[in-house]
Copies of this chain bind each other. A is one copy, B any other.
C-alpha cells in the first residue's frame, strides 16, 4: 500500500528499472508513455538510476522526424545470482546474470535427502566453483536462491516438511549457507522455482497464471497466480502429486492411495516396467537394472512395453492436468522433471486426455509445453528468486540494493 509521497518515488524507481530490464533497451519517452508518467518525472528517475551500473545510455535510434531518442540499456551483466536445485538425489548449481543467462553450471548426483551435513558442504563447494567460474566477486553477487524438494511450512514459510525431509529436521539450511557464503539466501519449493523460471525466462512471459508441473521422483506443481508465486494459506499449495487419480490405486509414500505421484513418479514408472517384466513380457529392458533414461531409450527404439508404460503415465498426468485446468484455469501448463525426457511419447496421450476431460473450450485449447529451460529450470528459477525478492518485494530498500545514493 503506497501511502506517502516518499514511497511514490521508490515505487516509480522500481517500475522504471523493471521496464528497462524487461525491454532491454528503451527510451525515456517510451517509458513515460508506458508508465503514464510525465517526461520530466522519467528524467528525474533515470538520473537516479544512471549513477548505478545497472543501466547506461547507449546511442540513439532513428525515428521518422524530430530529435532521436536516447536509448537506455540494461546491464544484465552488472550483477550475478546463484541458484541451487536440491533434488532428492542430485544437485544442480548455477551462476546466472540478470538476464537469465547461465554463466556457469555444475550438476552431480548426490544423496541429498539422507545426508544434510554433507549436502550443505557440497552445495558450498559448488557455489564457490560457479561463482569463481562466472568471475563475479562478492559485491557483484546479489544472493543465493535454493530450491528444495519439499513444501515450506510454518509461520514464515521457512521450515522444511518433516514428512518428506525427515533427515533434515532441525537443520537451518538458510542460516548455514548464509553464514558460509556471506550472501542473502532465499529458500523455496522446487516446483515453485520452475514456475518462476518459466514465468521470467521461458514460455510464461505473456500469461499471468501458469502451472509448472515437475515429474521426477516426486510430482509437484508450482503455481504462478497474478504474476506471482502462489503458496496458499498454509504454504502447501501445488501438491498435485498427492491428488487422487484412482481411489483404489497403489499405495503412495505419503500414506494415501492412488496419488498421481504413485502412478507417474520415477519409482512408479520403474515399478510398472518391473511388473511387466515379472509377468514375462518380452522387452529390450529384460534383465537390466533400469533407469528412466533406459525406459525412454527402449521406447524410442520401438519396444512396445515401455511405450505403453509411458503412454499410461501420460494419460494419468493428463487427467490431473485437466482437473487443474478446470479448477484453476491457468493460461499455460509447463512440464519439467526427468520423466519429461520422454517427450511427445508422454505429451501426446497427455494432451489427448486433456482434450477429452476439459470442460471449457479455452481449457481444451490450453497450451501445454515442455519446459523451455529443460533440466536447469529449477536452478535458474532459484537464482531468479533472488532478483524477485530484492527488486519486487515492497519495502525492500531498492536504492540500497542497487547501490544508489542514500
Residues of chain A touching chain B, judged by Cβ–Cβ distance below 8 Å, are: 1-5, 8, 11-12, 15, 35-37, 151, 153, 161, 207-209, 221, 225-226, 230-244, 247, 254, 256, 259, 319, 322-324, 326-332, 356-357, 359-360, 362-363
Contact = CB atoms under 8 A, between A and B. Distances in A.
Nearest to A332: B233
Contacts of A235: 329
B328 A327 contact: yes
A396 B331 CA distance: 28
User: For the complex formed by this chain, how many copies does it contain in all?
Assistant: 2
Contact of A327 (B240, B329, B356): B240
A360 B151 contact: yes
9 contacts: A2-B11, A3-B8, A207-B233, A221-B327, A236-B326, A237-B327, A242-B359, A243-B327, A327-B328
A239 B360 contact: yes
Given A256-B357, A327-B328, A3 B244 contact: no
A99 B225 CA distance: 30
A367 B139 CA distance: 47
Contacts of A234: 329, 331, 360, 362-363
A329 B244 contact: no
A327 B8 CA distance: 37
A357 to B, nearest CB: 6
Contact of A4 (B8, B153, B359): B8
Nearest to A14: B1
A15 B35 contact: no
A331 B231 CA distance: 11
Given A2-B2, A232-B328, A232-B329, 12 more contacts: A2-B11, A3-B15, A4-B8, A151-B360, A153-B360, A153-B362, A161-B360, A209-B232, A234-B360, A239-B326, A241-B359, A328-B328
